[in-house]
Chain A
């Protein structure tokens, strides 16, 4: 077997050194009832590379790749172009096949990139400090709610009606498990502002999203002020990190915690994972933060170096008193993020954001021109909701037949939201004029 270096001779000589008759001797602690005599039934035997590759390629061929044609699906994950060098960098063995940097003397590569990642995320979100990543945006959002409860010692969490419903669900789950109360404001395309009136003296945090799940961008400054007056925190969420090149970032709106999805920079769609959760906060809250942090220090020779720090927040030291149970996070996805962000630079990101916005504006103008279509999102970055004159599921199925993946039906995200005729569509730098023309042409045939 190609991944197992021991030969039968090796095994025999090692058993002799150990003083064991066979490998069976090592399993005598296993109760008789649990010991399998033969190999497990019902699974195939080992196969060579070629056979495995054939099997996997066949499965892959049954899926329609985003790049195969006009594609407008967003709502939490976005099609973007990732430079070739990013994948080369993350496939570098020393990054790909190393562990969490527990031994900093031989992990300065990972640690320095973590430090650079934290610096980039802090700058993008306009927050004081960022951690070294979470699993994804939804879990970052949930952890932000828990952190706010720790900071304020309060038990009520208020979610906006425009928060991505999966983020809301993940947040509700963890909060309720800890005995917190979750209030979810009514679904609303342009309702982030309603958070301002929702906070009261028992509120730990209000959670708003901009751009929200319908694409609406909102200045949450008023919400922040209202929350702060009541002693509550503002958690500002985003699912499209490219927007931060152009749209008001959490820090400029007075957010106490920023939580979002970083997939759009450096990471492919991957059917939903692995992605990279971004998490940033104000300086004074750092000791209540979940997740790993990398900090600057010096080595015994006085040279600058980096280490994992403030570990007394974490589960491997604090156990049942840790700020979170998170251990492994999204290291390699964070590296992909930081490498792509490095290639972009501040100027490149801004330009990328402009291109995304323009593509969405052109798409909105084109779709808005189709009879019976109504654009519902008042202010948007690269994504918006629109109403079709017929059932959205039927529209999307017919678009699909025309080779256009037209977006996400809102009813898939909000089954009880009475949104059967609403589609959420995204455009990015990958969207071409031909893609938009194909969309419009197909839609005209349907409605």
Chain B
């Protein structure tokens, strides 16, 4: 035995965390990291480029005057910089990410591998079409999956994200109304007050006026309110309805809603953000939907990447399909896949072009990989397990927290803050979850529930993970009910304490500026 022969203690002494201060600012594995501009210099570089030959410029004097002054880092510095920063992030690969309505499920690594095949990653959107037949075939194959799963006849693939898909659907409705000669008169769009903020924002962006409809005590559209909004119907453009809705509930009256809107001469836009709850089990096309976007990152597991890229293919009914945006892919009789890029011929009634190229190809590859991996049988199981997991969380927590509505939920469980003691708020519960090692649930949304807490576990969590999470949240909920003031300071164990958002907005500092060297020297 050569170890511990010099009196080295083998059991830890007890010292509180707060007593430890470090010179470096790091705390063990959690490294302090300055901004890259404070580490690097404009002369430092992490690339080795050949020396320019000094060819005579053909810029005609249109040259940059001031240097960018941007700092660079060598490769080891850069890698360390970003890895250190990465360690300050929570991620689905670290643990359960119950952000309701945002759907953070496992992102399979096969998707990433496939998206990096040079045949997909290294092809140009304007290459001759004969040289990208595999890419066009892939888009067509993904489109077939989306049409089959939704029971809709057409899908516009170019929208860049969910909100962009909303824009696509609403622009198609706008164009259909113009074609009917009612573009100038039908301006009112009904939007439930529980809707994502993107819905009203999209409607306005398309030149529509938003008319809010109330929710009933069961968390669904209040049919009486809806009917009252349709008494006058000659100005109705349509409705934007999320289903399953943001309360995690299926709109029981959806068929009746569709019929009412159609009878009023309007169109039914369905926000498909929560399609993951029903994929493989319910086809929106059977319910009277005219347009619906699908967030590929939510239902079909493309990574969210800390804020995108998303991808929002939008399925359209027969009534709206003629107005779909260009470009789209068609298959000629001889099997050649062809891009329709101009608003003529097959696209003569198209409302136009939304983006420069063909949509989020990188996301298409990942989504199709995911679909092929699951198949029709697996996708049905995906929806069932997502709903089962959410109901399990609801069942485990309903004795200590206040479910917003009675009965089973779909893919997410919604609670109000009614169970908390005075002075303890939703945000305190959310931040306490961070100390337990979890990303908080969606908080204060939907707006129709006071202090809303929206929990979406997704189908990629095991029962053991759910139990661990529920144990943690149950304990926090009990403390909240008892008025435990220590919750107000949470999180205590995160890379940062609560941040001052008011200060950030009052005098915005939106970029780094070099310190005034003279002033620094004087100090």
Q: Let me know if A53 and B114 touch, CB within 8 A.
A: yes
B403 on the interface (CB 8 Å rule)?
no
Whether A327 lies near B198 (C-beta < 8 A) is yes
Q: Which residues of B contact A89 (CB under 8 A)?
A: 78-79, 82-83, 86
Min distance, Cβ B47 to any Cβ of chain A, angstroms: 5
- Contact bitstring B93-106, A, C-beta under 8 A = 1, else 0: 11001010010101
Cβ B201 vs Cβ A315 within 8 A:
yes
Instruction: Please give me the residue from chain B that is nearest to A13 by CB atom.
Output: B463
Q: For A40, give its contact among B120, B206, B280, B304 (CB under 8 Å).
A: B280
User: Are B90 and A106 interface neighbours, CB within 8 A?
Assistant: yes
Instruction: Determine whether B424 belongs to the interface, using a CB cutoff of 8 Å to chain A.
Output: no
Given contacts A34-B283, A325-B205, A358-B52, is CB(A62)–CB(B375) below 8 Å?
Answer: no
Q: Residue among A2, A36, A132 with the most chain B CB within 10 A?
A: A36
A307 to B62 Cα, complex, angstroms: 38
Q: Does A166 contact B (CB under 8 A)?
A: yes
Within 8 A of B (CB), among A319-353: 319-322, 324-335, 339, 341-352
For B137, give its contact among A4, A42, A62, A295 (CB under 8 Å): A62
Q: Interface stretch among A168-176, A195-203, A227-235, A438-446?
A: A168-176
B516 interface residue (CB < 8 Å to A): no
Asked whether B376 is an interface residue with its Cβ less than 8 Å from the other chain, the reply is yes
Most buried by B among A15, A166, A273: A273
Which residues of A sit under 8 angstroms from B356, Cβ to Cβ?
A: 76-77, 136-138, 164, 166-167, 170, 261, 272, 275
B486 within 8 A of A: no
**Nearest residue in B to A190 (C-beta to C-beta)?**
B60
A49 close to B355 (CB less than 8 A): no
Q: In chain A, residues 9-41, which have Cβ atoms closer than 8 Å to a Cβ of chain B?
A: 10-11, 13-15, 17-20, 23, 25-31, 33-36, 39-41
A418 at the interface (CB under 8 A from B): no
- The answer to whether A79 and B71 touch across the interface, beta carbons within 8 angstroms, is no
B508 interface contact, C-beta 8 A:
yes
| CB contact list, B54-106 vs A, under 8 A | 55-73, 75, 78-79, 81-83, 85-94, 97, 99, 102, 104, 106
- Do the beta carbons of B358 and A271 come within 8 Å of each other? yes
Query: What residue of chain A has the Cβ atom nearest to residue B81's Cβ?
Result: A342
In contact, A105 and B497 (Cβ under 8 angstroms)? yes
B358, A286: Cβ atoms closer than 8 Å: no
Q: Is the CB of A177 within 8 A of B174?
A: yes
Chain A residue with the shortest CB-CB distance to B108: A3
With contacts A94-B87, A105-B431, A327-B162 taken as known, whether A43 is within 8 angstroms of B376 at the C-beta atoms is yes
Interface string of B341-367 (1 = CB under 8 A from A): 110000000011111111111110100
Q: Does B131 contact A (CB under 8 A)?
A: yes
Q: In the complex where A26-B410, A346-B69, A400-B128 touch, is A105 in contact with B510 (Cβ < 8 A)?
A: no
Q: Are B498 and A170 in touch, CB under 8 angstroms?
A: no
Question: Contacts of B197 on A, CB cut-off 8 Å?
Answer: 314-319, 322, 327
Interface string of B294-313 (1 = CB under 8 A from A): 00010001011111111100
Determine which residue in B47, B52, B62 has the highest number of CB atoms from chain A within 10 A of its CB, and name it.
B62
Contacting B at CB under 8 A, from A202-256, are 210, 217-219, 244-249, 252
Q: Which residues of B contact A352 (CB under 8 A)?
A: 47, 49
C-alpha spacing A315/B161, complex, angstroms:
14
Whether A59 pairs with B119 at a CB distance below 8 angstroms is: yes
CB pair A63 B58 closer than 8 Å:
no
Residue of chain B at shortest CB distance from A48: B373
Contact yes or no, B58 A379, CB < 8 A: yes
B313 to chain A, nearest CB (A): 12
A123 contacts partner chain B, Cβ-Cβ < 8 Å: yes
Contact with A along B114-125 (1 / 0, CB 8 A): 101111111111
Q: Is A46 an interface residue (CB 8 A)?
A: yes
Q: Kindly provide the distance from the CB of B389 to the nearest chain A CB, expressed in whole angstroms.
A: 8
* Interface range, A side: 35 or more
Q: Is the Cβ of B388 less than 8 Å from the Cβ of A269? A: no
Residue A85 at the B interface, CB < 8 A? Answer: yes
Q: Are A18 and B391 in contact (CB under 8 A)?
A: yes
A95 to B79, CA, bound (A): 13
- Name the contact of A100 in the complex, choosing from B36, B304, B460 (C-beta under 8 A): B304
- Residues A36 and B283 in contact in the complex (CB < 8 Å), given A136-B356, A346-B70: yes
- Would you call A310 and B505 a contact (CB within 8 A)? yes
Is the beta-carbon distance between B499 and A31 smaller than 8 angstroms?
no
B511/A122 in contact, CB under 8 A: yes
Which segment of B8-16, B37-45, B224-232 sits at the interface?
Answer: B37-45
Residues of A within 8 A of B117 (CB): 56-57, 60
**Interface contact A101-B307, CB-CB below 8 Å:** yes
Chain A residues contacting B362 (CB-CB under 8 Å) are 270, 273-274
Q: Is B185 an interface residue (CB 8 A)?
A: no
A40 x B149 contact (CB < 8 A): yes
Question: A385 within 8 Å of B by Cβ?
Answer: no
A343 touches B62 (CB 8 A): no
Alpha-carbon distance between A244 and B51 when the two chains are bound, in angstroms? 19
Q: Interface digits, B270-309 against A, CB 8 Å rule (1 contact, 0 not)?
A: 0000000010111100110000000001000101111111
Q: State whether the Cβ of A390 lies closer than 8 Å to any Cβ in chain B.
A: no
- A112 B124 Cβ-Cβ under 8 A: no
Smallest CB separation, A83 vs chain B (Å): 6
B145 nearest CB neighbor, chain A only: A43
**A35 adjacent to B281 (CB under 8 Å):** yes
Instruction: Give the complex CA separation of A350 and B81 in angstroms.
Output: 23
CA distance A274 to B509 in the complex (A): 28
State which of A103, A247, A269, A322 has its C-beta within 8 Å of the C-beta of B430.
Answer: A103
Stretch among B260-268, B377-385, B474-482 lining the A interface: B377-385
A97 near B118 (CB under 8 angstroms)?
Answer: no
Which of B46, B203, B283 sits near A344, CB closer than 8 Å? B46
Binary contact readout A97-123 vs B (1 if CB under 8 angstroms, 0 otherwise): 111111111111110111110111011
Question: Does A400 contact B130, Cβ atoms closer than 8 Å?
Answer: yes
The reply on B319 being an interface residue by CB < 8 A is: no
B414 within 8 A of A: no
Among candidates B45, B126, B368, B385, residue contacting A347 with C-beta atoms closer than 8 Å: B45
- Whether B161 pairs with A252 at a CB distance below 8 angstroms is no
Chain B residues positioned under 8 Å from A97 (CB to CB): 91-93, 104, 107, 303-304
Tell me if A64 and B123 are in contact (CB < 8 A). yes
**Cβ 8 A contact of B88, one of A107, A246, A347:** A107
Whether B342 and A415, one on each chain, are in contact in the complex, defined by CB atoms closer than 8 angstroms, is yes
Tell me whether B254 is interfacial, beta carbon within 8 Å: yes
Closest-by-CB residue of B relative to A297 is B504
Enumerate chain A residues within 8 angstroms of B278, measured Cβ to Cβ.
27, 30
The smallest beta-carbon distance between A162 and chain B, in angstroms, is 13
List the A side residues contacting B440 at CB < 8 Å.
103
**Is A429 interfacial (CB 8 A cutoff)?**
yes
What residues of A have a CB within 8 angstroms of the CB of B359 in the complex? 272-273
Query: B510, A294: Cβ atoms under 8 Å?
Result: yes
Select which of B141, B301, B494 is within 8 A of A105 by beta carbon: B494
Assess whether B303 is in contact with A119, with CB atoms less than 8 Å apart: no
A329:B161 contact, CB within 8 angstroms: yes
Given known contacts A77-B126, A218-B62, what 19 new A-B pairs fall within 8 Å (CB)? Answer: A3-B106, A4-B381, A4-B460, A27-B282, A33-B287, A36-B281, A59-B119, A59-B134, A76-B356, A85-B46, A102-B99, A105-B494, A113-B85, A247-B64, A248-B62, A316-B445, A321-B204, A327-B197, A361-B55
25 residue pairs of the A-B complex, CB under 8 angstroms, read A6-B388, A20-B408, A23-B388, A40-B148, A56-B369, A57-B119, A58-B134, A64-B132, A66-B123, A95-B305, A98-B89, A100-B304, A105-B497, A124-B70, A135-B308, A135-B355, A170-B355, A274-B308, A309-B504, A314-B197, A343-B46, A345-B40, A347-B43, A347-B72, A400-B131
Top 7 closest A-B pairs, CB basis?
A: A345-B72, A272-B357, A60-B119, A332-B305, A62-B134, A331-B307, A272-B125
